[in-house]
A = this chain, B = another copy of it.
Amino acid sequence: MLRAMVRERRLGPPATKGISSAARVLDDWYVAAQSQEVGRKPIARTILGIPLVLYRGDDGVSALLDRCPHRNVPLSLGRVEQGTLQCGYHGWRFDGSGACVEVPGLCGAGNKGTGRRVDAFPTREEDGFIWVYATAGPRPERDPYRFPHLRDPAYTTVRQTLDVDGTLHAAAENALDVLHTHFLHRGLFRSEGERNEIEVVVRRWPDRVEAQYIGEPRPEGLIGRVLAPGGGVVEHYDRFLLPCIAQVEYRLGDDAHIIASTALTPIADLRTRMFGVVTFRLRRLPPRVGGLAARVLKPLGMVILRQDAAMLAQQTRTIRHFGGEQYFSTEVDVLGPQILRLLRRAERGGRTESSEGPVEKTLRMRV
């Protein structure tokens, strides 16, 4: 169909530089699905705009480009036959390496393979997640991220999946940002009324960045009161690890240790799937209070997630309308600019997994 060649004109305000926070780090692992989602029935998933079919065959879970090379229908419409993936249109079959092993209808030996193949992406099944490497080809040297304390019996883990409109960067900055909690999550977490000036130490490694908040009193909102009714000072770290992990760690003395990690999977430049993993130990809480905490915290967590998702969607809508981003940061945008720097460098292939110590910087912030 003809597309309207509507005369394009610029808005009055100055043009932007495009969606500059969209990053395509292709040489790394992302969570494609939860393990339980991948049975014998193939499923379609998209990572960085690449349509994939995931299925559980002879070689465990495989990930192929979701397009049959024959007539370009999605292979995810097919089924698993003889441990291979069979296209639902003409029955071409592919193994986990992407090689075509049968073309029904061809005579003699011809129907066994044709030299034709479909791109296969490395996969790993770990901690209840299917990780996929975003570049087709051989198994890479790099390993996927492992979530801490996930197999530690003293810890409990809760999982939650949510799609948001926004770049991976926007979702990560939101997840790790302290200062929006006073406004967007008014009353739930931190309150605007009584701020305290605290110290923040930012540590940068070649593949991750961390902010440590020193001297923060227990947040006065509902969540803080439930978790630590006695008040006190919290130990608090926010971290981003390339290419996709946003992690918040809280420790209230020996009372509570909470690690909220989110594996961020870029579905497309402006759409991100969040696989949340909250692992916690509430050791010294009396059982009655612990039970109350869990009953209160889960719905509160969902309220906060929905507030964040709604704001990210509005941010993305605005960015789309203006044709790109035009951010202005200050010193207290502690991690956002650092995350973007990491993503940009990784996108250009300039990342090194160095073991050298971090570069540190200290600043002050009112929280």
Shortest Cβ distance from A197 into B: residue: B107
A136 on interface, CB distance cutoff 8 Å: yes
Q: Which residues of B are found within 8 Å of A322, using beta-carbon distances?
A: 2, 67, 72
Indicate if the CB atoms of A2 and B7 lie closer than 8 Å.
no
Q: Does A361 contact B (CB under 8 A)?
A: no
- Count of chain A residues near B, Cβ 8 A: 92
Instruction: State which of A148-156, A274-282, A326-334 sits at the interface with chain B.
Output: A326-334
Query: A10 an interface residue at 8 Å Cβ cutoff?
Result: yes
For A320, list chain B residues within 8 Å (CB). Answer: 4, 6
User: Out of B114, B192, B315, B328, which one reaches A330, CB within 8 Å?
Assistant: B114
B-side contacts of A51, CB under 8 Å: 318, 321
Residues in chain B near residue A331, CB distance under 8 A: 106, 110
Q: Once the chains are docked, how many angstroms separate the CA of A222 from the CA of B24? A: 50
The smallest C-beta distance from A308 to any residue of chain B, in angstroms, reads 10
Complex copy number for this chain: 3
Taking the closest CB of chain B, its distance from the CB of A335, in whole angstroms, is 13
Residue A91 contacts which of B7, B87, B183 (CB distance < 8 angstroms)? B183
Q: Which residues of A contact B (CB under 8 A)?
A: 1-13, 15, 18-20, 22, 24, 26, 48-51, 65-67, 69-74, 77, 86-91, 103-107, 110-111, 114, 116, 119, 134-136, 177-180, 182-184, 192, 195, 197, 267-271, 311, 314-315, 317-333, 364-367
* A–B complex contacts, Cβ < 8 Å, 27 sampled: A1-B270, A1-B271, A2-B9, A2-B323, A4-B319, A5-B18, A5-B323, A5-B324, A7-B324, A12-B48, A12-B119, A67-B326, A70-B328, A72-B318, A72-B319, A73-B315, A73-B318, A74-B317, A89-B184, A90-B179, A90-B183, A103-B332, A105-B178, A105-B366, A106-B330, A110-B330, A116-B328
